[in-house]
């Protein structure tokens, strides 16, 4: 279950980065700032919670199902955006970068926090936020450079959503059985 | 839209200007004056604030900590009043105040002695003097007028409430009463006033009442007024006094009261004055108000510690104070200020105690009813008291009471008859032996209490919720032990107006386990019954606990200032309580005193006797000295020494080789020399002491030698060092002193004492102390009984320090009330020097053996050692960390300095500390200071090229706690916890029970697990005081390389005191479980106050074994004693077992064989078997049971012959003397089967029959204690898995990304 979750996290982040390449530059900046701010605010909370409590809550069967539903919904939204060239009604989805990446990145930093002793919590939160900002900005720019063609990026985005759906089904299957 | 007209704008502007002007005028003339008060105590804050009757004066109070964080408090302030007592301001705070002064703020410091803080701004000399007069003459009127005066001078332009009256100067030393403004310079004037008011009773006892220097403040003194009123209503003439110094003493002498009630703040007087009080037989009662709210006082997990403990309890003890009840708390009133609130139930209790104590002065002895509680292990073993023969001592006391006119009718004519009666009627029963219970009920004549009677008394004495705890646990009365129908039997004896009863077991069956594990378990009905009977049925006038020590003082609860919720308070009732206690055990004595409102009466230790080993080792020593002089040039001599050493087995004790073809090296010879010297000079104690029986002339000589010879030798050597005849290193070398100075010192003292002069004229000055010690010893035996008789007559018991006479001769004469030390001043300067030296010695030894520094050293803190050495072991811990305590002007260690790495010259070594409950109670502030030191050392960078094991240890501990599933914040908080002790602020580790109940456990690992659980409560800081976190203690224990155990007493050693293996052995076992490696273990030996040193555990155990258990001289001495002395044999055997269970490497593998030869075969022909059978067969059974259990467990690799001989002996004693039913004998069915298996058939049948009868197989649910432990399950290590999962996820994720990119690029190319 933990491995699946880690995979899903990585894909959500990748989806976010890829999706952000369709935003104007200032939009990427805003998204990056928002994500960094979220990380900065959430990490102190995570520091005051035992790892077991946090992960226990996330991996509880009810929660996994809820998360799966959210992933499916978001994946559908992303897929719909992939067809927005032809279906103009979905063009507004350009402004939706993917919200699930926010808790995903917080969880990822949280795991690093739980495995590190002797660190300064506030400093860690600040560096994590800065790191997130840099990764989003650089990642988005990097993907734009690597894959300058929009349709290729759209195709990539679509494939990622497919992977996410598959992994989500696997995750729900894991808690069922 | 129409533009506003210019006229309108003009009007609006003018209106606004007018409003502003008006506002400015109002503010200028009518704004309240804001006065900030800094560092007033809560009581003073209330007094100042509640006497402010002006709405134009706003008072703000702050303490220095808040002021430091929030300098904005100064903004908007017009005047500042600083109470400088105990205040330290840093640069920023001082600068902020001075800056305010430059802005025109009036700053006044009310200072008496604090030279650091004396900030005065914008005040003329006259104004300053006026303010000083107001604040130093503390009255309601002066406070009121002080505030108005400040308004006048700080804000002279402000209108309203500017009138004030000049300061009223109070007398510095005066009598007062409840009416404000009435003060009297002499007691005669007060008496006249009281007569005028109708409050004076002719002929009534005079009670002097004192309440510190801050009274009589008019206002916040409800508890003072309550006590004055209640004492007056009780019929006393009360003389409240406030006075200082010599004048105080003069006024008290002039009054010559019958008693003093002193709410303590500092010493009542100097030692001379205290001596006068004792000579005049004026008891001093010291109830106290607590500067804590009611909820904190009631909370048993919040101890009274630090300065409060020192001021309210420790200092009054030095004055010989008694009745240390907490009679008031300080609570927030609706006005927001803290007012003293009398705790009415406690005031009632104190008054009751006071009245009863004073009544003893007038009640005729023949009418006095005295209850005496003694201690006994279950079954047929001896009455117990450390170092004392209880039965003859009790008998002597009763005889003395009889001679003093007490009604002691029916006392047997002989001591033997008395002993028989006590054993038959006054037994203690264990729940594991129902058969023995039945036998007791049949043959003895216990007191029967009906259920109704018992419950009536319980309701009268106990709080309903406390009694309900008992019922919830043990069911309704009468319970399960010693019952018949609806009645409960109480084992006791009564001789006229004297009641004797044994203290019962404080828990039963499984609960015994829980109680000694620190759970707050209520005692059973069988425990409450005798105490309730004593109070309500027998109606005792006074209570005596007889000997060291009982268990009532170890029931869970507060360390000081009990309430009715504490068993140790409520079962004593408010009776005048006296406790015979060995002078050798000050640590536990202090706890008994504080938790049961006892006045201690010390008694002597057993006499010190010659070990008789000189003859055995003299030729070896002589050979060693010759060999050392020959410097390796005499090989034949060297081989001879080796042969003799191996024959004696000394090589095993010292870890030397046994090859007979190779002589020892010079270093090994020196080691051997030191060891042999120690054996020869080891101070051993003889037969147990009997109260009131002086030492024999020979014992007097040997004891005086033990006390006086070492100091004389040291003094002589020191003079030689000062004169350049020897070096400082030689002075510090104990072996050198023993060779060159001790024999002469002994000869001189022996010559003097064989013909002691009447006075010291003509005696050399350096010999006079020896005479004084001798006289002190002689005086002691009479003094002990005199003191108790005097106490029972409502008199005083003079105070004295504690400790054995060798360590501290000032404890002589005994018959006095022990006091402790001021923990705030520890470690003392001397202790600091000793601690540093011993810490460095630890590191040197470890490095020598292992080639590197240890990473962590563990220390045990005990109360007795702490008091006797003034914190030497604490000092060791500080020095290991590389932190030095800093002292204030009063010598208190209040702050810390990190010693730089370059100065330290070595790594910072991590520490782990385990504390006894007793130490925790008396020195809690030191544990917090030590934790601060750990935090400081953890943050220190590596410097001087040395690693910082404290920092790395803290990080490791945090990591371990993260892995246990704690939050990072919580793991961080607990990462600096290094001080651990018993759970729930309890006192027991539970290890003794766990170890000795070996039939109920399968492996030693259970002992380690039990220890980790039971001693795993953290006592590091306020926030985590007594916090228990599973896994924390184990995490803190990681990488422990050394364990240090202190020993300061010359009356016990590792084999004679069970607590030594309980702490050191159990800790060592736990460390081994956690780290996989047994740590090195040393004793920090403080027994010689001039030569404190470190000694290896194996060496220390070997010295004691050879000097006592295996020493025919010692055995013969002990055989002169009665059942108490004989009981010690069994106890020492149990302790040997305990060491084997926990740290077998500390023992000689041959020890059991030697014990077998000495005690089972009696190879020295001492008549041991006959002696033990006659005097204490229970001890004999315990000894043989221990040997057999040791064999069963595999500790002793006994031969078949040894097993059969021992089993046969055990069975024979059991058959002829009856089963003793101590736990070892009757509580272990596996042992019983093992014994039976090693017996020949006829003996097997009879043995089995006896044991079955005792146990009564039908009641199988009351058999051996089943050990239940909280199994701590390790939490699932999710974080680690997720990190791993994260890495896996990352790898797969990146692979997917790569795949994606490749796919898309290929697509692009194809396009």
Q: What is the pLDDT of residues B287-307, one digit of tens each?
A: 999 988 999 999 888 888 888
Q: Tens of pLDDT along B886-921?
A: 998 888 998 999 999 999 999 999 999 999 999 999
Q: Do B958 and A118 touch (CB under 8 A)?
A: yes
Q: What is the mean pLDDT of chain B?
A: 89
Q: Which residue of A has its CA nearest to B955?
A: A118
Q: Are B1158 and B1164 in contact (CB under 8 A)?
A: yes
Q: In the predicted model, what is the mean pLDDT of residues B973-1002?
A: 89
Q: Are B963 and B977 in contact (CB under 8 A)?
A: no
B217 pLDDT tier (thresholds 50, 70, 90):
low
B73 pLDDT tier (thresholds 50, 70, 90):
low
Reported as type and span, the H/E element at residue B790 is helix B768-792
- Which residues of chain B neighbour A53 with C-beta distances below 8 Å? 967
Option in B959, B968, B1289 nearest A10 (CB)? B1289
- DSSP letters for B235-267: T-EEEEEE--HHHHHHHHHHH--SEEEE--SS-
Tokens of residue B758, six digits: 């009447």
Does B1038 reach chain A within 8 Å, measured CB to CB? Answer: no
Q: In the predicted model, what is the mean pLDDT of residues B1247-1269?
A: 53
B1261 pLDDT tier (thresholds 50, 70, 90):
very low
**Residue B199 predicted with pLDDT over 80:** yes
- Which residues of chain B neighbour A113 with C-beta distances below 8 Å? 968
Does A166 reach chain B within 8 Å, measured CB to CB? Answer: no
Question: What distances in angstroms separate CA B1288 from CA A6, A168, B258, B938, B1296, one per listed residue?
Answer: 8, 17, 84, 35, 12
Does A165 reach chain B within 8 Å, measured CB to CB? Answer: no
| Alpha carbon B747 to its chain's center | 39
Q: Which residue of B has its CA nearest to A146?
A: B1301
Q: Is B122 exposed, middle or buried (0-12, 13-18, 19+ CB in 10 A)?
A: middle
pLDDT value of position B214: 56
- Which residues of chain B neighbour A51 with C-beta distances below 8 Å? 962, 965, 967, 1278-1279, 1282
What is this structure's pTM? 0.86
CA distance B1300 to chain A (A): 7
Q: Fill in the DSSP letter of residue B449.
A: E
Q: Which residues contact B26 (CB under 8 A, 6 or more apart)?
A: none
Q: Are B160 and B56 in contact (CB under 8 A)?
A: yes
Q: Do B958 and A155 touch (CB under 8 A)?
A: no
Q: Are B1026 and B984 in contact (CB under 8 A)?
A: yes
Residue B1211's nearest CA partner among B1200, B1223, B1219 is B1219
Does A108 reach chain B within 8 Å, measured CB to CB? Answer: yes
Residue B1043: beta bridge partners? B858, B1081
Report the length, in residues, of chain A. 177
Q: Which residues contact B830 (CB under 8 A, 6 or more apart)?
A: B870
Q: Which residue has the tokens 């197989």?
A: B1257
Q: In the predicted model, what is the mean pLDDT of residues B131-137?
A: 90
Q: Do A10 and B1293 touch (CB under 8 A)?
A: yes
Q: Tens of pLDDT along B575-593?
A: 999 999 999 999 999 999 9
Does A158 reach chain B within 8 Å, measured CB to CB? Answer: no
pLDDT value of position A117: 84
CA angle B268/B270/B274 to nearest 5° reads: 70
- From CA B853, how far away is CA B844, in angstroms rounded? 8
Higher pLDDT residue, B1014 or B337? B1014
Q: In the predicted model, what is the mean pLDDT of residues B219-227?
A: 88
CA distance B888 to chain A (A): 33
Reported as type and span, the H/E element at residue B183 is strand B183-184
Lowest mean pLDDT among B42-46, B466-470, B898-902: B42-46
Q: Fill in the DSSP letter of residue B83.
A: E
Helix axes A121-146, A25-47, angle to 10 degrees: 150
Option in B967, B975, B1297 nearest A49 (CB)? B967
Longest dimension (CA), chain B: 130
Q: Are B924 and B305 in contact (CB under 8 A)?
A: yes
Does A161 reach chain B within 8 Å, measured CB to CB? Answer: no
Does B968 reach chain A within 8 Å, measured CB to CB? Answer: yes
Q: Do B969 and A146 touch (CB under 8 A)?
A: no
pLDDT value of position B1271: 27
CA distance B897 to chain A (A): 23
Per DSSP, helices labelled H in B360-505 are 390-403, 415-425, 434-443, 451-461, 464-474
- Compute how many other C-beta atoms are within 10 angstroms of the C-beta atom of residue B510: 14
- From CA B663, how far away is CA B263, in angstroms rounded? 69
Q: In the predicted model, what is the mean pLDDT of residues B499-527?
A: 73
The number of helix segments (H) and strand segments (E) in chain A equals 7, 0
pLDDT value of position B432: 57
Reported as type and span, the H/E element at residue B373 is strand B370-376
Q: Which residue of B has its CA nearest to A122?
A: B969
Does B1295 reach chain A within 8 Å, measured CB to CB? Answer: no
- From CA B1060, how far away is CA B1081, in angstroms rounded? 12
Under 8 Å CB pairs connecting chains A and B tally to: 109
Q: Do B959 and A117 touch (CB under 8 A)?
A: yes
Tokens of residue B1277, six digits: 């290590």
- Which residues of chain B neighbour A5 with C-beta distances below 8 Å? 1282, 1285, 1289
Q: In the predicted model, what is the mean pLDDT of residues A41-69?
A: 89
CA distance B924 to chain A (A): 28
Q: Are B885 and B825 in contact (CB under 8 A)?
A: no
Residue B883: beta bridge partners? B898
Does B1300 reach chain A within 8 Å, measured CB to CB? Answer: yes
B1266 pLDDT tier (thresholds 50, 70, 90):
very low
Question: What distances in angstroms separate CA B263 from CA A99, B260, B351, B564, B593, one per listed residue?
Answer: 67, 10, 14, 21, 18
CA angle B1111/B1063/B878 to nearest 5° reads: 115
Q: Which residues contact B885 (CB under 8 A, 6 or more apart)?
A: B827, B832, B878, B893, B895, B896, B897, B929
pLDDT value of position B64: 66
Q: Do A7 and B972 touch (CB under 8 A)?
A: no
- Which residues of chain A neighbour B1308 with C-beta distances below 8 Å? 147, 149, 152
Does B1292 reach chain A within 8 Å, measured CB to CB? Answer: yes
Q: Do A152 and B1308 touch (CB under 8 A)?
A: yes
CA distance B969 to chain A (A): 5
Option in B954, B1275, B1289 nearest A52 (CB)? B1275
pLDDT value of position B165: 92
In three-state secondary structure terms, B682 is coil
pLDDT value of position B1270: 28
Q: Tens of pLDDT along B1177-1204?
A: 999 999 999 999 999 999 999 999 999 9
Lowest mean pLDDT among A4-18, B579-593, B1250-1264: B1250-1264
Q: In the predicted model, what is the mean pLDDT of residues B301-321?
A: 90
Q: Tens of pLDDT along B1121-1180?
A: 988 899 999 999 999 999 999 999 999 999 999 999 999 999 999 999 999 999 999 999
**Residue B423 predicted with pLDDT over 80:** yes
- Which residues of chain B neighbour A108 with C-beta distances below 8 Å? 1286
Q: Tens of pLDDT along B1033-1065?
A: 999 999 999 999 999 999 999 999 999 999 999
- From CA B779, how far away is CA B813, in angstroms rounded? 6
- From CA B1176, how far away is CA B379, in angstroms rounded? 12
B116 pLDDT tier (thresholds 50, 70, 90):
low
**Residue B718 predicted with pLDDT over 90:** yes
Q: In the predicted model, what is the mean pLDDT of residues B466-476?
A: 92
The residue of B967, B974, B1302, B1306 whose CB has the most chain A CBs within 10 angstroms, and thus the best one to mutate to test that interface, is B967
Does A155 reach chain B within 8 Å, measured CB to CB? Answer: yes
Q: In the predicted model, what is the mean pLDDT of residues B671-679?
A: 92
pLDDT value of position B491: 93
- DSSP letters for B1283-1308: HHHHHHHHHHHHHHHHHHHHHHHHHH
CA distance A156 to chain B (A): 7
Q: Do A117 and B956 touch (CB under 8 A)?
A: yes
Q: Fill in the DSSP letter of residue B943.
A: B
What is the side-by-side order of every strand in the sheet holding B447-450?
A: B447-450, B487-490, B483-484
B68 pLDDT tier (thresholds 50, 70, 90):
low
Q: Which residues contact B958 (CB under 8 A, 6 or more apart)?
A: A117, A118, B971, B972, B974, B975
Share of chain B above pLDDT 70, in %: 92
Does A55 reach chain B within 8 Å, measured CB to CB? Answer: yes
Of the ranges B63-77, B103-117, B145-159, the best mean pLDDT one: B145-159
Beta strand ranges found along B934-989 (DSSP E):
979-981
pLDDT value of position B1228: 86
pLDDT value of position A177: 54
Higher pLDDT residue, B267 or A84? B267
pLDDT value of position B776: 95
pLDDT value of position B410: 95
Option in A51, A111, A160 nearest B965 (CB)? A51
**Residue B103 predicted with pLDDT over 60:** yes
Does B974 reach chain A within 8 Å, measured CB to CB? Answer: no
Tokens of residue A117, six digits: 């002793």
B264 pLDDT tier (thresholds 50, 70, 90):
confident
Option in A50, A113, A156 nearest B1300 (CB)? A156
Does A11 reach chain B within 8 Å, measured CB to CB? Answer: yes
- Which residues of chain B neighbour A164 with C-beta distances below 8 Å? none
Residue A81's nearest CA partner among A69, A98, A67 is A98
Option in A2, A49, A146 nearest B1282 (CB)? A2
Q: In the predicted model, what is the mean pLDDT of residues B162-166?
A: 89
Q: In the predicted model, what is the mean pLDDT of residues B91-110?
A: 87
Higher pLDDT residue, B16 or A86? B16
Share of chain B above pLDDT 90, in %: 68
Beta strand ranges found along B1020-1101 (DSSP E):
1027-1028, 1042-1047, 1080-1085, 1093-1096
Q: Is B1041 exposed, middle or buried (0-12, 13-18, 19+ CB in 10 A)?
A: buried
Which value does ipTM take for this structure?
0.84
């Amino acid at each position: 279950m933990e491995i699946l979750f880690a995979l899903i996290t990585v894909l959500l982040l990748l989806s976010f980065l890829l999706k952000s390449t369709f935003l104007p530059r200032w939009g990427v900046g805003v998204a990056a700032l928002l994500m960094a701010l979220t990380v900065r605010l959430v990490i102190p909370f995570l520091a005051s919670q035992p790892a077991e409590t946090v992960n226990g809550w996330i991996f509880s069967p009810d929660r996994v199902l809820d998360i799966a539903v959210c992933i499916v919904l978001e994946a559908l939204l992303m897929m719909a955006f992939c067809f927005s060239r032809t279906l103009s009604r979905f063009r507004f989805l350009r402004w939706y970068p993917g919200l699930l990446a926010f808790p995903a990145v917080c969880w990822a930093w949280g795991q690093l926090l739980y495995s590190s002793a002797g660190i300064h919590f506030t400093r860690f939160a600040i560096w994590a936020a800065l790191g997130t900002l840099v990764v989003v900005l650089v990642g988005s720019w990097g993907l734009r450079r690597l894959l300058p063609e929009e349709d290729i990026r759209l195709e990539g985005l679509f494939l990622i959503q497919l992977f996410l759906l598959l992994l989500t089904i696997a995750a729900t299957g894991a808690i069922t059985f | 839209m129409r533009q506003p007209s210019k006229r309108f704008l003009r009007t609006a502007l003018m209106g606004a200007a007018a409003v502003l002007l008006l506002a400015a005028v109002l503010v200028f003339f009518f704004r309240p004056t804001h006065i900030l008060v800094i560092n007033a105590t809560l009581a003073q804050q209330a007094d100042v604030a509640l006497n402010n009757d002006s709405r134009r004066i706003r008072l703000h109070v702050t303490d220095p900590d808040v002021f430091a964080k929030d300098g904005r408090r100064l903004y908007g302030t017009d005047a500042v009043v600083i109470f400088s007592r105990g205040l330290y301001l840093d640069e920023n705070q001082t600068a902020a105040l001075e800056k305010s002064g430059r802005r025109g703020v009036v700053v006044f410091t009310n200072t008496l002695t604090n030279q650091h803080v004396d900030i005065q701004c914008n005040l003329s000399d006259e104004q300053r003097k006026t303010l000083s007069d107001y604040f130093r003459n503390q009255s309601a009127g002066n406070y009121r007028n002080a505030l108005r005066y400040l308004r006048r001078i700080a804000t002279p332009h402000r209108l309203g409430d500017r009138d004030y009256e000049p300061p009223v100067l109070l007398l510095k030393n005066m009598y007062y009463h409840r009416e404000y403004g009435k003060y009297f310079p002499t007691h005669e004037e007060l008496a006249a006033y009281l007569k005028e008011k109708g409050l004076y009773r002719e002929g009534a006892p005079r009670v002097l009442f004192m309440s510190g220097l801050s009274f009589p403040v008019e206002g916040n003194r409800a508890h003072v007024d309550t006590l004055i009123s209640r004492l007056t209503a009780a019929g006393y003439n009360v003389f409240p006094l406030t006075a200082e110094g010599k004048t105080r003493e003069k006024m008290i002498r002039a009054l010559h009261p019958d008693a003093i009630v002193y709410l303590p703040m500092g010493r009542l007087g100097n030692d001379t004055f205290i001596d006068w009080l004792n000579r005049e037989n004026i008891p001093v009662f010291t109830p106290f108000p607590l500067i804590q709210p009611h909820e904190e006082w009631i909370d048993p997990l919040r101890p009274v510690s630090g300065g409060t403990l020192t001021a309210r309890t420790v200092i009054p003890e030095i004055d010989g104070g008694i009745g240390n009840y907490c009679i008031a708390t300080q609570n927030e009133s609706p006005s927001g200020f803290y007012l003293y609130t009398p705790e009415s139930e406690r005031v009632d209790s104190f008054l009751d105690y006071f009245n009863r104590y004073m009544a003893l002065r007038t009640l005729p002895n023949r009418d006095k009813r005295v209850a005496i509680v003694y201690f006994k292990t279950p079954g047929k073993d001896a009455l117990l008291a450390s170092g004392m023969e209880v039965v003859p001592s009790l008998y002597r006391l009763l005889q003395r009471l009889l001679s003093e006119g007490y009604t002691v009718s029916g006392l047997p004519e002989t001591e033997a008859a008395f002993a028989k009666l006590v054993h038959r009627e006054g037994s203690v029963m264990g729940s594991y032996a129902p058969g023995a219970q039945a036998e007791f009920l049949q043959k003895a004549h216990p007191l029967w209490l009906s259920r109704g009677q018992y419950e009536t008394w319980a309701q009268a004495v106990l709080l309903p919720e406390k009694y309900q705890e008992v019922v919830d646990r043990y069911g309704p009365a009468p319970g399960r032990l010693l019952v018949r129908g609806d009645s409960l039997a109480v084992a006791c004896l009564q001789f006229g107006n004297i009641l004797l009863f044994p203290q019962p077991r404080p828990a039963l069956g499984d609960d015994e386990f829980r109680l000694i594990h620190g759970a707050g378990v209520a005692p059973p009905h069988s425990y409450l019954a005798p105490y309730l009977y004593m109070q309500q049925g027998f109606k005792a006038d006074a209570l005596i606990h007889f000997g060291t020590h009982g268990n009532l003082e170890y029931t869970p609860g507060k360390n000081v200032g009990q309430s009715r919720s504490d068993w140790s308070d409520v079962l004593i009732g408010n009776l005048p309580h006296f406790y015979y206690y060995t002078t050798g055990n000050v640590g536990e004595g202090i706890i008994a005193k504080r938790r049961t409102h006892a006045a201690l009466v010390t008694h002597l230790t057993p006499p010190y006797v010659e070990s008789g080993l000189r003859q055995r080792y003299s030729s070896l020593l002589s050979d060693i000295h010759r060999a050392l002089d020959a410097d390796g040039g005499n090989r034949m001599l060297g081989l001879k020494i080796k042969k003799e050493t191996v024959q004696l087995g000394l090589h095993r004790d010292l870890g030397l080789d046994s090859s007979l073809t190779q002589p020892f090296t010079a270093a090994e010879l020196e080691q051997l020399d030191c060891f042999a010297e120690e054996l020869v000079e080891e101070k051993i104690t003889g037969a147990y002491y009997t109260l009131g029986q002086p030492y024999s002339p020979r014992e007097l000589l040997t004891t005086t030698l033990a006390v006086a010879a070492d100091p004389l030798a040291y003094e002589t050597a020191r003079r030689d060092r000062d004169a350049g005849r020897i070096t400082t290193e030689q002075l510090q070398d104990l072996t050198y002193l023993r060779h060159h100075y001790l024999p002469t010192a002994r000869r001189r003292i022996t010559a003097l004492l064989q013909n002691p002069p009447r006075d010291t004229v003509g005696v050399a000055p350096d010999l006079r102390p020896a005479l004084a010690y001798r006289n002190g010893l002689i005086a002691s035996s009479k003094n002990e009984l005199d003191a108790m008789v005097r106490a029972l007559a409502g008199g005083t018991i003079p105070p004295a320090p504690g400790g054995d006479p060798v360590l501290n001769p000032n404890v002589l004469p005994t018959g006095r009330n022990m006091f402790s030390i001021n923990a705030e001043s520890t470690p003392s300067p001397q202790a600091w020097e000793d601690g540093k030296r011993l810490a460095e010695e630890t590191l040197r030894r470890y490095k020598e053996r292992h080639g590197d520094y240890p990473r962590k050293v563990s220390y045990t803190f005990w109360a007795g050692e702490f008091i006797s050495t003034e914190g030497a072991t604490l000092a060791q811990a500080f020095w290991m960390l590389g932190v030095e305590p800093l002292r204030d002007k009063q010598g208190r260690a209040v702050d810390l300095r990190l010693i730089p790495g370059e100065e330290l010259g070595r790594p910072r070594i991590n520490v782990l500390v385990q504390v006894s409950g007793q130490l925790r109670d008396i020195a809690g502030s030191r544990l917090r200071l030590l934790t601060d030191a750990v935090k400081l050392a953890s943050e220190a960078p590596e410097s001087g090229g040395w690693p910082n094991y404290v920092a790395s240890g803290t990080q490791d501990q945090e990591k371990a706690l993260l892995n246990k599933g704690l939050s990072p914040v919580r793991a961080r908080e607990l990462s600096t916890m290094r001080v651990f002790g018993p759970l729930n602020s309890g006192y027991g580790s539970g290890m003794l029970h766990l170890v000795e109940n070996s039939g109920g456990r399968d492996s030693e690992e259970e002992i380690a697990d039990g220890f980790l659980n039971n001693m795993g409560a953290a006592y590091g800081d306020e926030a985590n005081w007594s916090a228990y976190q599973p896994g924390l203690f184990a995490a803190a224990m990681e990488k422990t390389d050394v364990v240090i155990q202190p020993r300061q007493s010359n009356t016990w050693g590792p084999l004679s005191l069970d607590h030594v293996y309980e702490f050191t052995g159990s800790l060592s076992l736990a460390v081994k479980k956690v780290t996989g490696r047994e740590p090195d273990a040393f004793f920090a030996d403080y027994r010689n106050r001039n030569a404190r040193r470190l000694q290896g555990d194996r060496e220390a155990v070997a010295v004691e074994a050879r000097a006592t258990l295996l020493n025919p001289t010692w055995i013969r001495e002990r055989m002169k004693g009665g059942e108490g002395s004989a009981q010690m044999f069994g106890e020492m055997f149990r302790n040997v077992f305990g060491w084997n269970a926990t740290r077998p490497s500390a023992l000689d593998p041959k020890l059991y064989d030697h014990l077998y030869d000495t005690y089972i075969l009696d190879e020295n022909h001492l008549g041991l078997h006959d002696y033990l059978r006659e005097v204490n067969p229970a001890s004999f059974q315990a000894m043989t049971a221990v040997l057999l259990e040791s064999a069963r467990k595999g500790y002793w690799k006994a031969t078949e012959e040894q097993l059969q001989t021992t089993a046969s002996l055990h069975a024979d004693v059991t058959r002829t003397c009856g089963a003793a039913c101590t736990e070892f004998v009757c509580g272990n069915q596996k042992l019983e089967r093992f014994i039976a298996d090693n017996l020949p058939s006829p003996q097997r049948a009879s043995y089995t029959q006896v044991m079955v009868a005792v146990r009564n197989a039908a009641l199988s649910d009351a058999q051996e204690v089943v050990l239940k432990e909280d199994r701590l399950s390790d939490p699932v290590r999710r974080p680690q898995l997720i990190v791993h999962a994260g890495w896996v996820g990352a790898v797969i994720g990146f692979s997917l990304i790569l795949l994606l990119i490749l796919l898309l690029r290929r697509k692009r190319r194809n396009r």
